[in-house]
Amino acid sequence: MQIHVRGKNMEVNSSLQEYAEKRLGKLEKYFDSNFEAQVTLSVAKEDNIVEVTISIDGLLLRGEESSEDMYASIDKVVDKLERQMHKYKTKINRKLRQRGIKELNEQYVSLQREEKENEEPQVVRTKRFVIKPMSVEEAILQMNLLGHDFFVFNNAETEDINVLYRRKDGNYGLIEPAE
């Protein structure tokens, strides 16, 4: 953090400069990156005015306070900037979380797609069931009762294993082994 303190219509003594740097140093805890602060101390009639402009990652925060005491003015402006920075930090964190979650989700979906494209299809489930002899009509009824798009059965007429399937046009297809 860089703090530049200058006086306007007044001379800035070392204790005033150290106090301003110490109080503004309190704001460092809000950000990881370095920031630069321009502090202008001025006197106008009986008011001691402190103006602070802070530049953080392209964002400008500005605070101005005045009181009868320069030290009190510094305290007031630091408190004001601290509130602004807390608000800014909360908004940025929220945006980062939202963007971060969105980016993580996009990365996850992208990785899933890549894995599917790079993988050979594999058997992920095996079912075993008893095949009993039945007619084609009974197999259609059984397939519809199960809500499946295909049904494997032992054809009672031919005594072969057949596959019955639902076609896109709503009709049925039957796969029989060739002899």
- pLDDT tens string 165-178: 999 999 999 999 98
pLDDT of 52 above 80: yes
pLDDT band at 146 (very low <50, low <70, confident <90, very high): confident
Class of the CATH domain delimited by 133-175: alpha beta
- Each residue of 62-112: pLDDT tens digit? 889 999 999 999 999 999 888 877 776 776 666 656 666 666 667 667 766
Q: Of residues 78 and 147, which shows the higher confidence score? A: 78
Q: Of 27, 19, 22, 33, give the one whose Cα is nearest residue 83.
A: 27
Return the CATH number of the domain spanning residue range 2-95.
3.30.160.100
Q: Is the pLDDT of residue 113 over 60?
A: yes
What residue segments make up the domains of the chain, in order of their start? 2-95, 133-175
8 Å CB contact between 71 and 52: no
